[in-house]
Amino acid sequence: MDLKAIRNQIDTIDNELLVLLNKRMELVKQVGSLKRAEKSVIYRPEREQEILRRLEDLNDGLLTKSAIEAIYLEIFAVSRNLELPQRVAFLGPEGSFTHQAAESRFGGMGEYLVLPTIRSVFDSVETGRAAFGVVPVENNQEGIVPETVDLLREKELQIAAELYLSIHFTLVSKADSLKDIKVIYSKDIAFRQCSVFLREYFDENVVEFIPVDSTSKAAKLAAGEPTSAAICSSISAKLTGIPVLFDNIENSDQNRTRFLILGKDFKNQPTSRDKTTIIANLPHTNSPGVLFRFLKEFNDRGINLTKIESRPSRNGSDFGFWFFVEFEGNSSDPAIRQIMDMHEGHLKWLGSYVRMS
Ligand SMILES: C=C(O[C@@H]1C=C(C(=O)O)C=C[C@H]1O)C(=O)O
């Protein structure tokens, strides 16, 4: 077949796709009307995951799993926009890893609110300025993001979904040579994640490391100063037009960050692949066996714990603490229900959502 003939066929298929996509949108609109009548939530991450899984199982063509995901996540985002346009807040500025994470779920067409701090993302969802908020919660090299975990305890928001992103850092600067660099800007966590590279190439007695709110803010600052550098994502290097001196400078090439999508009064339908996150404010945490007995309840019921972190309660001068706990399953599972009931008043449910790891 010649080029023209092949392209004719492509055109025919695109025409069919357009008709089908519009048919899909008609149905989505009906779903939207039903949801509005029932005052139920528009975003159903568990339903989207179910569709993806079904299509990936069904697929026997050239499309890879991630290609199907990329296409469909955009279709879902456009669909939701038709049901009810919903603003999504994320920890900015533009070009941050959180921006990348937000776009991967809410699409390129979404309406975004770029906010300067994790707290302001929580606030915007709490006050309804945004329907959803995207924040980082942990990195597999660095552990949890304390601000996010503390705010999950403080605020009354829920986790609608989680997602994972591979993180790569670049060193950017307008300096001609490394020895001209006097200042390096980045986010504190990024400095730690690139510590091996920094030790090898820079003398901390000569170069000043200045932590700022985000890696993209770091790139913007460095773009305006000829003897400064920044550690940032390649997307913010591109957005600020600052030259990349080194790529992939992170300590581990297995560097992944987990993000949470936060909603208000949000509850997913249970699936068979859920994870649940809670805050445990156990009484008398300094007494022997309190944590042991709590964990034993999970073990006795065969519930797989995936995370436990302790955080200071900041209650006067004492050394009390509370726990950020995650485990497999949905809060409506009878075994999990039992534990929640047993500790009523001491456990705060933050969400049950499809497990992505
Ligand atoms: C159409 C719906 O609303 C949203 C859009 C979806 C879609 O495009 O398939 C799926 C789930 C929801 O996030 C639905 O709930 O079925």
**Paired strand residues for 231:** 171
CA of 257 from ligand 1 middle (Å) equals 26
Q: What is the mean pLDDT of residues 106-124?
A: 93
- Residue 165 CA to residue 138 CA, distance in Å, equals 11
Q: What confidence score (pLDDT) does residue 107 get?
A: 86
pLDDT > 90 in the chain, percent = 81
Give Cα separations from 266 to 94, 158, 160, 352 (angstroms). 26, 6, 6, 10
The CATH fold of domain 172-251: D-Maltodextrin-Binding Protein; domain 2 (3.40.190)
Summarised one tens digit per residue, pLDDT across range 154-176 is 999 999 999 999 989 999 999 99
Among protein residues, the one with the nearest Cα to ligand 1's atom 9 is 76
* Residue 306: predicted pLDDT: 96
Q: What mean pLDDT do residues 135-157 have?
A: 95
Q: Where residue 252 falls among pLDDT bands split at 50, 70, 90? A: confident
As a whole number, mean pLDDT of residues 272-290 equals: 92
Q: Which two tokens stand for residue 201?
A: 């190439």
pLDDT given for residue 136 in this prediction: 97
Q: Where are the domains of the chain?
A: 172-251, 268-354
Q: How far is CA 148 from CA 73, 122, 123, 125, 268, in A?
A: 25, 9, 12, 14, 21
Ligand 1 pocket test: which of 25, 34, 47 has the largest number of ligand atoms within 8 Å of its C-beta? 47
The predicted structure's pLDDT at residue 92: 85
Distance from the Cα of residue 120 to its chain's centroid: 16
CATH topology match: 172-251 vs 268-354: no
The pLDDT of residue 315: 81
Q: Which residues contact 138 (CB under 8 A, 6 or more apart)?
A: 144, 145, 257, 258, 307
pLDDT at 100 over 80: yes
Give the whole-angstrom CA distance, residue 136 versus residue 91. 8
Token digits of residue 199: 């030790």
- Give the atom of ligand 1 at the shortest distance from the alpha carbon of 43: 13
Query: pLDDT value at position 235?
Result: 77
Q: What is the mean pLDDT of the chain?
A: 94
Q: Can you read off the two tokens belonging to residue 121?
A: 């993302």
If you search the block for the tokens 């929580």, which residue do you land on? 122
Q: What is the pLDDT of residue 243?
A: 96
Q: What does the angle CA 78 – CA 18 – CA 56 come to, to the nearest 5 degrees?
A: 65
pLDDT digits (tens, 9 = 90+) for 11-24: 999 999 999 999 99
CATH class of 268-354: alpha beta
Residue 259 has pLDDT above 80, yes or no: yes
DSSP secondary structure letter of residue 250: S
| 116: amino acid identity, one letter | P
Distance CA 166, CA 148 (A): 19
Q: Is the pLDDT of residue 91 over 90?
A: yes
Atom of ligand 1 nearest to the CA of 76: 8
Contact 121, 155 (CB under 8 A): no
Question: pTM higher than 0.90, yes or no?
Answer: no
3-state secondary structure of 59: coil
Strands 183-186 and 208-211, sheet pairing: parallel
- Number of residues written out for the chain: 357
Q: Cβ < 6 Å from ligand 1: which residues?
A: 28, 31, 42-44, 47-48, 51, 76, 79-80, 83
